[in-house]
Amino acid sequence: MDKQRIVEKVNQVFEESFEIEKNELAPEKKIFDDLGLDSLDIVDLVVALQQKFSIKIRDDERVRNIRSLKDIYDYITKLGEEGVLPKDGK
């Protein structure tokens, strides 16, 4: 899955699960401060990302270091490089 597709799918998660407008989803946006998510929303975000990418990330320590949208894009890209993402790219 290429980076552009990952960005699209992550953004879809924010649009569908949190109804955040597309124009607010810039890579530098901080998840807590700019997008308004809180610690409980992060649980929902992880579940939504797991469903969207067919992955299991709940116990991955790296999730704790995510601060911005760009961090999510990079993290999912890294999972792709590690071969964790399904190859069909759905």
Partner 1 sequence: MGSKDKLFNLKLIFLNTTQYVIYVLYSLLAIPLATIYVMLKALFSARRSTHRRVRKLIGFWAMGISFITLPFVKVRYKSNEANSEIGACIYICNHRSFLDGFLVAHPCRRREVVQVVNVWPFKIPVIGVIAKVAGYLNVKAMPFNEFSSIAKSLIGNGVSIVSFPEGTRSKGKAMGSFHGSMFRIALEVGCPIVPICISGNEKVLLRGNVMMRPGEIKIHELPALEWNEYKDIAPFQLKIKVRNMIIRELTVMDGGV
Binding site for partner 1 (CB under 8 A): 17-19, 32-33, 36-41, 44
**Least distance (Å) between residue 36 CB and partner 1:** 4
**Least distance (Å) between residue 15 CB and partner 1:** 12
Residues 42, 18: Cα–Cα separation, whole Å: 11
**Least distance (Å) between residue 18 CB and partner 1:** 5
By C-beta, is 9 or 18 nearer to partner 1? Answer: 18
By C-beta, is 11 or 80 nearer to partner 1? Answer: 11
DSSP letter for each residue of 5-70: HHHHHHHHHHHHHH---GGG--TT-BTTTTT---HHHHHHHHHHHHHHHT---TT-GGGGG--BHH
In total, the chain counts a number of residues equal to 90
**Least distance (Å) between residue 69 CB and partner 1:** 15
For the chain, the straight-line distance linking the first and the last C-alpha, in angstroms and rounded, comes to: 9
By C-beta, is 39 or 65 nearer to partner 1? Answer: 39
